[in-house]
Amino acid sequence: MAPVRNSFLVFGSPDIREEEIAEVVDSLRSGWLGTGPKVDQFEKEFKAYIGAPYAIALNSCTAALHLSMLVSGIGSGDEVITTPMTFCATANAIVHTGARPVFVDVERKTLNIDPDQIQKAITPRTKAILPVHFAGRPCEMDPILELAQRYGLLVIEDAAHCIEGWYKGKKIGNIGDITCFSFYVTKNVITGEGGMVTTHHESYADKIKMYGLHGMTKDAWKRFSDEGYKHYQVVFPGFKYNMMDLQAALGIHQLRRVEENLIRRNEIWKRYDEALAELPLTRPAPVEPYMIHARHLYTVLLHIDRIKKSRDQVLNELIRENIGTGVHYTALHLHPYYRQTFGYKPGDFPNAEYIGERTLSLPLSPKLTNEDVEDVIKALKKVLG
């Protein structure tokens, strides 16, 4: 039987337009490829969009998470509470500070960290809570902030999926102590690789900017500008985490279309909700009225017992129909490193494990045509019967 599509539909294919291409070419012609005026412009526009007083561009969300913890004093012997239902970068950034990632289970309905489980994991070594706004759905931040205040903990948000999100009238990026965003190639705003930190704390912002460029004094990139040479001082053994102008050239135009793209993402989301209602799967839960979902991932949970196929079987059958999908995620505590290093084992976080066995993310790029969306639906109906 012929596949649903003749050509392969790439999962998470970015929507790159002529404005981005022209901006990158302008950077190439200017000769300024590294951290320079376009990074500065992108930071200013992102800061205005989020509404935070400080925004620092970096080369990845991983770098953003790592520096956020370093500048807030998290280090060897400390513990950071987070979710096992996330990409490994969330936990790895904790490990790179010398601290221990302490996982707590998620809510099966929202796929986000369960606030009711956090308090049980707090010890005298706990320094921070690191919630992840999974798929673009904001976490329940009020109980998390209440726990943080009660126990004197930092709240560092992983908002890699949640640039457009809002929680109870507050834009994501203005709630916790520090918020980290991703501009990876599959995200809602892309720079290829890239990240951003927002915060209301000037001291954190200054340190993140400095630590992200070798520990050199603030605005060291200006030493090659037409303002005249500026000597720099190294005041910390920093990292090579800075964003390039070539990346920011993409981000400037991507950010300007983010709300327009959200309208298209919502259209696709609504079509999936309607078309998949009768299939043997659980669709994403409705969004609470006090939230705005960033619509980064449309993630379904397959009823594998009913369809008599594993998630991976379904994924591979969809590939044969020329439909690309994603897996977000296999629960982190089941990966060899975290089991061997921290002693996690199957059964520790049953909701995360349940999700990890059944989760499948469908294409949701604003680049999708209506025909592309219908092909995804046809393929799912064909594969799931």
Domain assignment of residue 13, yes or no: no
Backbone dihedral region of 181: left (phi > 0), alpha (psi from -120 to 50 degrees) or beta? beta
Same structural domain, 175 and 280:
no
Is 240 known to be catalytic? no
pLDDT of residue 231: 75
Contact 105, 349 (CB under 8 A): yes
310 part of a folded domain? yes
Asked if the structure places residue 83 within a domain, the reply is: yes
Residues 336 and 238 in one domain: no
208 and 56 Cβ atoms separated by less than 8 Å? yes
Same domain for 247 and 336, yes or no, is: no
Does 7 map to a domain? no
Side by side, the strands of the sheet bearing 166-167 are 170-171, 166-167, 291-292
In this structure, is residue 11 part of a structural domain?
no
| Same-domain check for residues 79 and 199 | yes
Tell me, what's the pLDDT at 235? 87
For residues 169 and 184, give the distance between their C-alpha atoms in angstroms, rounded to a whole number.
27
Phi-psi map region of 56: left, alpha, beta (phi>0 left; psi -120 to 50 alpha): beta
Tens-level pLDDT at each residue, the chain (385 residues): 899 999 999 999 999 999 999 999 999 999 889 889 999 999 999 999 999 999 999 999 999 999 999 999 999 999 999 999 999 999 999 999 999 999 999 999 999 999 999 999 999 999 999 999 999 999 999 999 999 999 999 999 999 999 999 999 999 999 999 999 999 999 999 999 999 999 999 999 999 999 999 888 765 556 555 566 667 788 889 999 999 999 999 999 999 999 999 999 999 999 999 999 999 999 999 999 999 999 999 999 999 999 999 999 999 999 999 999 999 999 999 999 999 999 999 999 999 999 999 999 999 999 999 999 999 999 999 999 8
Specify the CATH number for the domain of residue 83: 3.40.640.10
CATH number reported for the structural domain that contains residue 380 in this entry: 3.90.1150.10
From first CA to last CA, the distance across the chain in angstroms is 15
pLDDT reported for residue 207:
95
Q: Under a CB-based contact definition with an 8 Å cutoff, are residues 321 and 5 in contact? A: yes
Same-domain status, 222 and 270: no
CB 164 within 8 A of CB 294: yes
291 and 152 in a single domain? The answer is no
pLDDT in the model for residue 9: 98
Domain-ending residue, one of 209, 231, 256: 256
Angle at 377 between CA 375 and CA 381, to 5 degrees: 115
- Distance from C-alpha of 115 to C-alpha of 118, rounded to nearest angstrom: 5
Do 141 and 263 lie in a common domain? no
Per-residue confidence (pLDDT) for residue 226, from 0 to 100: 57
Task: Give the containing element (helix H, strand E) for 361.
Answer: strand 359-362
Determine the Cα–Cα distance for residues 308 and 156; give it in Å rounded to an integer.
Answer: 40
Examine the domain organization and report whether 331 and 307 are in the same domain: yes
Per the CB < 8 A criterion, the answer to whether 272 and 377 are in contact is: yes
Residues 84 and 207 in one domain: yes
Last residue of a domain, one of 222, 256, 290: 256
How many structural domains does the chain have? 2
Tell me which of 256, 290, 306 is where a domain ends: 256
Rounded Cα distance between 168 and 208, Å, is 28
1 lies in some domain: no
Of the residues 38, 171, 187, 309, only one is catalytic, namely 187
Residues 42 and 144 in one domain: yes
Q: What is the CA radius of gyration of the chain?
A: 21
How far is 60 from 204, CA to CA, in rounded Å? 17
* Residue numbers of the domain that contains 184: 18-105+113-256
